[in-house]
Structures are given as structure tokens and as C-alpha cells.
Structure 1
Amino acid sequence: MTEVKPLVFKNRGKQRLGKGFSLGELKEVKLSMKQALKLSIPVDS
């Protein structure tokens, strides 16, 4: 299984690793917060 990492875009288009996925992003892929935590996916609260 591959690790899922959130990407955040900074000024001028540079990328960095984020701390977790938002609830809105989880909702887009039809995943609940409980399911995400069970799968070890980082979630912003």
C-alpha cells in the first residue's frame, strides 16, 4: 500500500507537504473522517 500525502501550493507555484486533508477533500472522495483515520490518512480538524 502506498502512503497518501497532501500537497500544498505556496506562492509562485512551489509545492510543500501539507499536514493533512480537509473535511471537504474527504467529502469529495466520499470518505468519512472515521474511515480516513482508520486508513491512517492524516486529517486536518
Structure 2
Amino acid sequence: MIIKENSSQDRDGLPPFVNSWKQLYILLIGMLALQIVLFYLFMTRFQ
């Protein structure tokens, strides 16, 4: 059984605080969802 380690080539372009592309996409989708909720609350508060 061969286990592939994360090589530097797999990490090209990733920021230092994530370990994989999947983790980066999950972080970005979570931040987008948070912004949508915050803007909705802001809109309803000052309507």
C-alpha cells in the first residue's frame, strides 16, 4: 500500500494556513455564507 504525501508541487498556490485545496474551498464557501448572513441582518436592521 502506497500512501501519497503532500508534495510541494501539490501545494503550489495554497496559502500557508490550509493544507489542501479542499480545505481552501470549504473555507471560502463558509466565508461567503457568513457574509451573506451578515449582509442580510444588516439590511433587515436598517430597512
TM over 0.5: no
Report the TM-score, using the length of structure 2 for normalisation.
0.25
More helix by share: 2
Report the TM-score, using the length of structure 1 for normalisation.
0.26
Q: Which has the higher contact order (CA 8 A, sep 6+)?
A: 1
More strand by share: 1
